[in-house]
Amino acid sequence: MQELKIDFNKELFYSFEEIVTWRRYLHMNPEISFQEVETPRFIAEKLRSFGIDVRENIGGNGVVGVIKGDSPGKTIAFRADFDALPIQDEKEVPYKSTVNGAMHACGHDGHTSALLGVAKVLSRKRHDLCGTLILIFQPAEEKPPGGAKAMIDDGVLDGVDYIFGGHLATDVPIGKVAIRSGASMASVDAFKITIQGKGGHGAKPHSTVDAVAIGSELVSHLQQIVSRRVDPMEPAVVTIGSFHAGNAFNIIADTAVLEGTVRALNSDVRTQIEEEIRRILDGFQTADGITYTLDYLNGYPVLENHREETQLIEQLVKENLSPEALALKKVVLGAEDFAYYLQHRPGAFFHVGARNENPATQFAHHHPRFDFDEQAMLVQGQVFLLLTAHYLL
């Protein structure tokens, strides 16, 4: 068994140049969320060239490859996302984006190429496999409602026992795999509040209900949700990102529109914050005579890694890469729609170190000069191969 595991890895290393070629092709030809056309075509064509069964247009632009082993056994799924961001590529490299205003600034080109590398290796090993591998290539991770939910609704998890996904991370050093059991990425919600007061002359405030004055008070009140209502041991954010009201210096505004986002690492806290926002608005309605509407949009849920599957990755990394390769993932309030898969099936989401000493690999994700150490794709692929060996050999 150990022999075969090593075999897997060797073959992945042999494919490195090809994986880099795919990654650079995708990097030069990015397609933003929900507008992916050529990328899924490219993926499907590669999978077919490896002799893998392909299903296209799953949950929109999604692609699924199926590798059925010769013997029966478990079914495990690996997921890679493939959408780009509406960002202008500002770095100077030969593989710079050729599309104006679109860029792979999160590493999804790397995720897809790494999983294609894994697919190629495993397509030749199907005789040794007991069980089935489902390779999920998912569009539209960057933009809620996202691609994951649609692919799940389209049955991508039918028959799947376990699911795993990985993300390259330029805040983690190359060679390391970072993971955390339980909540490790945040839920993300968006809301829009419209306050309706009563406009009037700037010199006659007593005959108005001033939407600017009330809206300003509302902003500071909303800040007290995190500082005074949420348990201080629970990370959470309430951000008001925009506030629009009024259009003249001497007219009291009748409406104010505020937009913001809520992040939390605990679904109870997430629900609590939404309730607090409504409670505060009801209070303003009673105290100040406004009326209001609240559009509250639930984005991605909290990403909760399952304990057993997290421990499995920890153990595989320690034993097969090195004990130093394993790192504890820092909790962040960024979000990931991989969270939906973990609501349906046991599994885990891991982060793969992608920065080296070169400052070019140290920009934050979504930065216009984002890039990563391409060796990280091998590490990501190795984790998938180790999981395959664990479940299907």
Q: Which residues are catalytically annotated? A: 83, 141
Neighbouring CB atoms inside 10 A of 32's CB total 20
DSSP structural state of residue 331: P
Could you tell me the smallest distance in angstroms from the CB atom of residue 194 to Zn ion?
A: 30
Using the minimum distance from each CB to Zn ion, give the nearer residue, 54 or 106.
Answer: 106
Q: State yes or no: 142 annotated in a binding site.
A: yes
Could you tell me the smallest distance in angstroms from the CB atom of residue 295 to Zn ion?
A: 24
**118 makes contact with Zn ion (CB under 5 A):** no
**26 makes contact with Zn ion (CB under 5 A):** no
Using the minimum distance from each CB to Zn ion, give the nearer residue, 87 or 218.
Answer: 87
- Pairwise CA distance, residues 27 & 87, whole Å: 13
C-alpha atoms less than 13 angstroms from C-alpha of 373 in its C-beta half-sphere: 22
- Pairwise CA distance, residues 84 & 101, whole Å: 10
Q: Which of these ranges, 59-67, 96-104, 106-114, 262-270, lies near Zn ion under the rule CB under 5 A?
A: 106-114
Residue 135: which of 123, 150, 153, 124 has the closest Cα? 123
Q: State yes or no: 108 annotated in a binding site.
A: yes
Using the minimum distance from each CB to Zn ion, give the nearer residue, 80 or 389.
Answer: 80
- Judged by CB under 5 A, how many residues of this single chain contact Zn ion? 1
**377 makes contact with Zn ion (CB under 5 A):** no
Q: In the block, which residue shows the tokens 């478990």?
A: 74
DSSP 97-154: --STT-B--SSHHHHHHHHHHHHHHHHTTGGG-EEEEEEEEE---SSTT-SHHHHHHT
269 touches 276 (CB < 8 A): no
Q: State yes or no: 351 annotated in a binding site.
A: no
Identify any residues that bridge with 326 across adjacent strands, giving them in sequence order: 177
Could you tell me the smallest distance in angstroms from the CB atom of residue 212 to Zn ion?
A: 36
114 touches 377 (CB < 8 A): yes
Q: Which of these ranges, 98-106, 235-243, 281-289, 337-345, lies near Zn ion under the rule CB under 5 A?
A: 98-106
Could you tell me the smallest distance in angstroms from the CB atom of residue 293 to Zn ion?
A: 31
Q: State yes or no: 167 annotated in a binding site.
A: yes
Which residues 236-275 are close enough to bind Zn ion by CB under 5 A?
none
Using the minimum distance from each CB to Zn ion, give the nearer residue, 59 or 197.
Answer: 59
Using the minimum distance from each CB to Zn ion, give the nearer residue, 106 or 214.
Answer: 106
- Pairwise CA distance, residues 4 & 126, whole Å: 12
Q: Which helix (H) or strand (E) is 215 found in, with range?
A: helix 211-224
Using the minimum distance from each CB to Zn ion, give the nearer residue, 107 or 175.
Answer: 107
Mutual angle of helices 108-123 and 16-28, in 10-degree steps = 140
**335 makes contact with Zn ion (CB under 5 A):** no
- Pairwise CA distance, residues 347 & 232, whole Å: 29
Identify any residues that bridge with 68 across adjacent strands, giving them in sequence order: 132
Q: Which of these ranges, 46-54, 100-108, 127-135, 213-221, lies near Zn ion under the rule CB under 5 A?
A: 100-108
Q: Which of these ranges, 99-107, 146-154, 243-251, 346-354, lies near Zn ion under the rule CB under 5 A?
A: 99-107
Comparing every residue's Cβ against Zn ion, the nearest one is 106
Could you tell me the smallest distance in angstroms from the CB atom of residue 336 to Zn ion?
A: 7
Strands 71-81, 62-68: pairing is unpaired
Q: State yes or no: 367 annotated in a binding site.
A: no
Rg (CA), the chain: 24
**Cis status, amide bond into 72, omega within 30 of 0:** no
- Pairwise CA distance, residues 380 & 174, whole Å: 11
**106 makes contact with Zn ion (CB under 5 A):** yes
Interface with Zn ion (CB under 5 A)? 106
Binding residues for Mn(2+) are 106, 108, 142, 167, 366
Binding residues are 106, 108, 142, 167, 366
